[in-house]
Amino acid sequence: PTPVVLDCDPGHDDAIAILLAAGAPELDLRAITTVAANQTLDKVTLNAQRICSAAGISVPIARGCSRPLVRPLYVAEDIHGESGLDGPSFGAISVGVVEDHAVDIMHAGEPVTLIATGALTNVALYLQRYGTSGVREIVLMGGSTERGNTTPYAEFNIYVDPEAAAVVFASGVPVTMIGLNVTHQALVTPSVVARFEALGPLGRLCGELMTFFAATYRDVFGFAAPPLHDPVAVARVIDPSLVTCVEAFVGIETTGTLTRGATVVDLHGRMGFEPNAQVAVGLDVDRFFDRVIDAVARLT
Ligand code: BDR
Ligand code: CA
Give the model confidence (pLDDT) of 269-279 as tens digits. 999 999 999 99
Ligand 1 atom 10: residue of nearest CA: 156
Phi/psi of residue 70, each to 5°? -130, 0
pLDDT score of 203: 98
Q: CA quadruple 82, 88, 93, 96: dihedral positive or negative?
A: negative
For the segment 194-251, what is each residue's pLDDT rounded down to a tens digit? Answer: 999 999 999 999 999 999 999 999 999 999 999 999 999 999 999 999 999 999 999 9
pLDDT score of 109: 77
The two beta strands, 263-266 and 243-252, are: antiparallel
pTM of the model: 0.98
Pocket test for ligand 1, best of 6, 8, 9 (most atoms within 8 A of CB): 9
Helix (H) or strand (E) holding 247: strand 243-252
Burial (Cβ within 10 Å: 0-12, 13-18, ≥19) of residue 87: buried
For the segment 96-126, what is each residue's pLDDT rounded down to a tens digit? Answer: 999 999 999 999 778 999 999 999 999 999 9
Ligand 1 atom 2: residue of nearest CA: 156
Taking the C-alpha atoms of residue 128 and residue 41, their distance in angstroms, rounded to an integer, is: 21
For the chain, helix, strand, coil in percent to 5 are 40, 20, 40
* Contact (Cβ atoms closer than 8 angstroms) between residue 193 and residue 213: no
**Does ligand 1 have an atom closer than 6 angstroms to the CB of 253?**
no
* Active-site residue set: 229
Say yes or no: ipTM exceeds 0.95. yes
For the segment 225-236, what is each residue's pLDDT rounded down to a tens digit? Answer: 999 999 999 999
Taking the C-alpha atoms of residue 110 and residue 101, their distance in angstroms, rounded to an integer, is: 18
CA of 272 to the centre of ligand 1 (A): 30
Taking the C-alpha atoms of residue 277 and residue 138, their distance in angstroms, rounded to an integer, is: 10
The percentage of the chain sitting over the pLDDT mark of 90, rounded to a whole number, equals 98
Taking the C-alpha atoms of residue 143 and residue 252, their distance in angstroms, rounded to an integer, is: 9
160 contact partners, CB below 8 Å, separation of at least 6: 37, 68, 71, 73, 74, 118, 119, 261
Q: Is 151 helix (H, G, I), strand (E, B) or coil?
A: strand
Taking the C-alpha atoms of residue 241 and residue 25, their distance in angstroms, rounded to an integer, is: 16
Taking the C-alpha atoms of residue 120 and residue 143, their distance in angstroms, rounded to an integer, is: 11
Rg (CA), the chain: 17
92 contact partners, CB below 8 Å, separation of at least 6: 53
Q: Taking the CA of residue 234 as centre, how many other CA atoms within 13 Å lie in the half-sphere pointing to its CB?
A: 34
Is the N-terminal amide bond of 11 cis, ω within 30° of 0? yes
Mean pLDDT score of the chain:
98
What does the pLDDT average to over 284-289?
A: 98
pLDDT score of 108: 77
What does the pLDDT average to over 139-157?
A: 98
More confident residue, 110 or 146: 146
pLDDT score of 73: 98
Pocket test for ligand 1, best of 156, 210, 217 (most atoms within 8 A of CB): 156
Beta strand segments in 129-172, E:
135-141
**Does ligand 1 have an atom closer than 6 angstroms to the CB of 117?**
yes
